[in-house]
Amino acid sequence: MSGRLADITGPDVPECISEESVILLPVGAIEQHGPHLPMSVDTVIAEETSSALLDHVGDEIDLWLLPTMSISKSNEHTWSSGTLSYTTKTMIRVLDDLARCVATTSARRLVILNGHGGNTSLLITACRDIRVAHGLLTFLVHPSVPPASGGTSTEEELGMGIHGGLNETSVFAYLRPGEVQMDKAIRRVPEWMAENEWVKFGGKVQFGWTSRDFGHQGLIGDPTDANPELGKELFESAVESLADQLREISKFEFQEN
């Protein structure tokens, strides 16, 4: 049995949620994505990916979706009016509160599906804190690992298409046809930083940044060639990969040496 936790009646929770259940929390964001994309991009991608996973592996894995967290930690974009963001402290508290509630069920596995790259380091910390505080097996997965955290980006974007670039814009164009304003799409790649050996997106030296550090447009990448066909390919590939990840997660257990 699989489904959405919010659709179960309270008395049915003990029957539906078992030790074999995998609880999936999609996390998105409401934040500026440059002049060509709405602020809902990360939330839409997280929610649509999770729904696709439910359809894809719901007959194999006892998978239960939590409601999508549409607000997360987006302070690198709060210079832009309208961006919504929790502080680090608030975000950790919210995640801990949700995990505490999950721990009242029989479920032992909590998976966070992160649609916003800026959450990554915080969510890794939260996974360990939740493991210690509540005893849950915790996992962090991404539809696409952010280039700033070791993921890949296109050669044309010099590996630094991290926000509102080609791939993200293409995926959103596939998921929400007609909502991308391609006439406003512009190239904003920090080519000067690509010359660095260490201090760059994908480099071994991590650094603090805001999206405004790379220009007032608020995007980092090149969305000018984005198209829904590429987005469909990227989205379906992500779902296939995540489905495999969930299959392994559903069987994961710590073992003593």
Please give the model's pTM, rounded to 2 decimal places.
Answer: 0.96
Q: Cα separation of 44 and 163, whole Å?
A: 15
Cβ 250 vs Cβ 109: under 8 Å: yes
Q: Per-residue pLDDT tens, the chain, 257 aa: give them.
A: 899 999 999 999 999 999 999 999 999 999 999 999 999 999 999 999 999 999 999 999 999 999 999 999 999 999 999 999 999 999 999 999 999 999 999 999 999 999 999 999 999 999 999 999 999 999 999 998 777 776 777 888 988 899 999 999 999 999 999 999 999 999 999 999 989 999 998 888 989 999 999 999 999 999 999 999 999 999 999 999 999 999 999 999 999 88
Structure-token pair, residue 31: 């934040």
Q: Cα separation of 7 and 149, whole Å?
A: 35
Q: Cα separation of 5 and 24, whole Å?
A: 10
Domains along the chain with CATH numbers? 3-251 (3.40.50.10310)
Q: Taking the mean position of all CA atoms in its chain, how far away is CA 81?
A: 22
